[in-house]
Chain A
């Protein structure tokens, strides 16, 4: 049997995702201005405990090693630990993202004692002023306190997760130092114009100079800093970053949202990228294997305007979500193309209507000061 290079094998899709993101609830006690899922209020249609367990059963059957659980703030679900216990008992590992507000000393000890569980604390500024402008007043203190508790409980190697912005791009060494201080590993991801991120992307996205510096910084730190393949579009600066360097949407990854809708990736909560719902006949497995959307994504993709670019093999046109929500053609350059091909398109498409996310659970009432209560 002839096999292809891994990236091509993955581009044509696998029978089951390698891992997937599962947003457990749209409820959140923060209101980050760049929230990918426009979270805030719980949706009354969210999956029940039993329905979540059924999804876990399917993932176990499919051989999915772990899920990236997020939200919203997933720990706000009353059955959060019940679901974590259920998943890990079925050999589906859990990595969950949290703002840290529910990581009490007792919870930290409980987490430290669990196999198959990884924790990711979100922080978007090494200093409180930079972080709290994005994540809300008091959220820096909350995240640091959570890391202190995890470290004290002996949880080694949890993740400190940072979305790189124009305001924190100069703080990468400081983030690294914070991670080191608590025995954590730094994870950097890309700011995407998804969810509420669409509203702040123009002001918060790193400048081209910062992108280039970031590429160099990531190369210097290699495998020690995780990126979830977030910055593969920067490969066009020259040297490729560690990782698969491909868009896995609908091919090796996907998103399950709190009401069970399955999207191609966590950054495209829009009807155009909705493949189905886990409540449909055949469940998640059938959506993954048979949905027309995912079948289409597994076909060879047109390089479009990028076809003649010498760096196409490095970046493969970049991120579908970043193009979609900035109103750019999907078969052209990434808006943050390393070679600068995105900038003129952003200018020429400036007046074109940008697609809005299909879900917006943003709270209408302002949250009280203190953020993470």
Chain B
């Protein structure tokens, strides 16, 4: 991986539907037919903000994720990319 997940631009995969819940959100990918969970409301906000920001880092700033928390969200985004929930935008 050349740049970290935070330095890149992402979007929600178009086959993914999110359902907000108290704990975060349910996420279902109609393509892979897999259900996954976003385990906090902050992560849901971040995922929803990815689309309109040039980098994930910028999206983090907008939703108010503090510096110390960034590594945790970077790992979460990498995992979401791995399971095909989010896609890198530059690849389009």
Contacts and interface: CB of A to CB of B under 8 A. Distances in A.
A3 B23 contact: yes
Contacts of B26: 18, 65
A1 B22 contact: yes
Nearest to A9: B23
Interface residues of A, number: 19
B41 to A, nearest CB: 7
B21 A14 contact: yes
Nearest to A65: B28
Contact of A116 (B22, B30, B35): B30
A65 B28 CA distance: 7
Given A18-B35, A65-B19, A3 B30 contact: no
Nearest to B26: A18
A83 to B, nearest CB: 18
Contacts of A3: 22-24, 39-41
A115 B29 CA distance: 11
B22 A91 contact: no
A300 to B, nearest CB: 17
A93 B19 contact: no
A115 B32 CA distance: 10
B76 interface: no
A93 B26 CA distance: 15
Interface in B1-20: 15, 17, 19
Contacts of B24: 3
Given A3-B24, A9-B22, A18-B26, A65 B35 contact: yes
B22 A95 contact: no
Contacts of A95: 33
Nearest to A158: B33
A6 B27 CA distance: 14
A157 B29 CA distance: 14
A347 interface: no
A66 B28 contact: yes
Contacts of B31: 115
Given A3-B40, A6-B39, A65-B35, A115 B30 contact: yes
Contacts of A16: 19
B30 A93 contact: yes
A124 interface: no
A65 B23 contact: no
A222 interface: no
A170 B35 CA distance: 30
Contacts of B41: 1, 3
Interface string B25-53: 01010110101010111000000000000
A115 B16 CA distance: 13
A369 B17 CA distance: 46
B23 to A, nearest CB: 4
Contacts of B30: 65, 93, 115-116
Nearest to B28: A65
Given A3-B40, A18-B35, A65-B35, A9 B28 contact: no
**Which 4 A-B residue pairs are closest in the complex by CB-CB distance?**
A65-B28, A63-B19, A3-B23, A9-B23
